[in-house]
A and B are shown apart, each in its own frame.
Chain A
Amino acid sequence: MKIAIIKYNAGNTQSVAFALDRIKVEYDITDNPEVITRADKVIFPGVGEASSTMNFLKERKLDKLIPSLKQPVLGICLGMQLMCEYSEENATQCLGIFPFSVKKFNATHVHKVPHTGWNSLTQCSGWLGSQFDNTFVYFVHSYYVPLNGYTVARTEYIAPFCAALEKDNFFAVQFHPEKSGETGERVFRKFLEL
């Protein structure tokens, strides 16, 4: 199986690569459209700011390539947010794979933002499956995707939000499986089995 990790300015690319090393899976970190298109599975990592990251993707024409992919694609954190239509983070037009807007959490002294730390998944379905109900995964983000028809896992912070998505061959998680211990490894395996 050929796995491509999309190479761009995402902050967690190396961590995703290390996580795949730990489960003994081989991969290419690449921005070569041919290699990405031919891969069996594609991982789209993401840590950083939405608008500058979208500009980076546009410069490399990855903004056209990613939505056209036919194999299973997994977006992580900012990767998931960029797969949506629009983000409130610096009013950014995103890739438009998932038809939603990404919103900012309202910080309070009780609910700090960024939402940082381990939080649990509930109502897991679709590609994740109910085995992930009540498992803890690691989050760090200030923007979120509201619950929607493609939600396959939810997490509660201030209000319930969308922790994982599935639409056709596109899959995404708001949390960081590469930083979520054994649970995170199971999430990667689940995706790689699709």
Chain B
Amino acid sequence: MLAKRIIPCLDVKNGRTVKGINFESLKDAGDPVELGFLYSQQGADELVYLDISASQEGRSTFTELVKKVAAKISIPFTVGGGVSTVEDVEKLLNAGADKVTVNTAAIENPNLINTLAAHFGSQCIVVAIDAKFESGKWAVYSHGGRKKTPLNLITWAKEVETRGAGEILFTSMNHDGTKDGFAVQALRELSDAVTIPVIASGGAGSMKHFKEAFELGTADAALAASVFHFGQISLHDLKIYLRKNDIAVRN
């Protein structure tokens, strides 16, 4: 049976992980390779590395990092952050990434999704969608959540599917950082609207939240950052908890 995936997300700036990560077992918790390797040993099913460097220099450091991750870690990983051209994607895939996320660039030029899918195959093109529930609607935001677009979550999701996306990474801006649980109802609507896998993001605070994302939200995967980075939830315990609750996870 296909297992539900648990995906730790690492934000990287100028080649270093950000957010106050505290791991006694790591010599250098700021090293994204070491931290990703630790997560892979603990049972993470995939990893996501997001580059939040603003500078060109930071971006080339990130490509070097992708090579190191690919050499060291034997589970799949997705990379993203500021990806806007075929050349960007090519560079990251050649460095050894398995999938690449696009967000703002796809909103500004939806044809980019078709081009990327034709070039590299749908399986490695993940469209990230940041959306906020306001005035009774899920509005899509671009530029890292700073700019509101006229797009609606479900119609945009269907469009990216039609254009060839292989997966959707949906972050609820209302839930992100709250630790109050994922946007279960929106996840369910999204999952019912498309036939490509959906990754839930934003709101993980307890193990129960993951269960809800899978059971009620019917998400195919769930992504979280701080609950793992700060050791509030161990991947090992989370897998045991989900298995006890009859959710298919990898042993």
Contacts and interface: CB of A to CB of B under 8 A. Distances in A.
B5 A118 contact: yes
Contact of B75 (A113, A115, A179): A179
Interface residues of A, number: 38
Nearest to B193: A109
Contacts of A119: 1-3
From DSSP, what is the main secondary structure of chain A's interface residues?
mixed
Contacts, number: 100
Interface string B200-231: 00000000000000000010110000000000
A134 to B, nearest CB: 8
Interface in A177-194: 178-182, 184-185
A8 to B, nearest CB: 14
Contacts of B220: 112, 116-117
A141 interface: yes
Interface stretch (A18-26, A37-45, A66-74): A18-26
Interface residues of B, number: 38
B76 A11 contact: no
A181 B195 contact: no
Contacts of B175: none
Given A113-B196, A142-B122, A118 B94 contact: no
Interface in A1-60: 11, 14-15, 18-19, 21-22, 47-49
B197 A15 contact: no
Interface in B169-198: 191-198
B155 interface: no
B74 A178 contact: yes
Given A14-B96, A116-B123, A116-B220, A181 B5 contact: no
A15 B166 contact: no
Interface of B: 1-5, 40, 45-46, 70-71, 74-76, 93-96, 98, 120-124, 166-167, 191-198, 218, 220-221, 250-251
Interface of A: 11, 14-15, 18-19, 21-22, 47-49, 107-110, 112-120, 136, 138, 140-142, 156-157, 176, 178-182, 184-185
In the complex, the 7 A-B pairs of residues with the closest C-beta atoms, listed nearest first: A107-B195, A118-B250, A136-B250, A118-B3, A112-B197, A119-B2, A140-B123
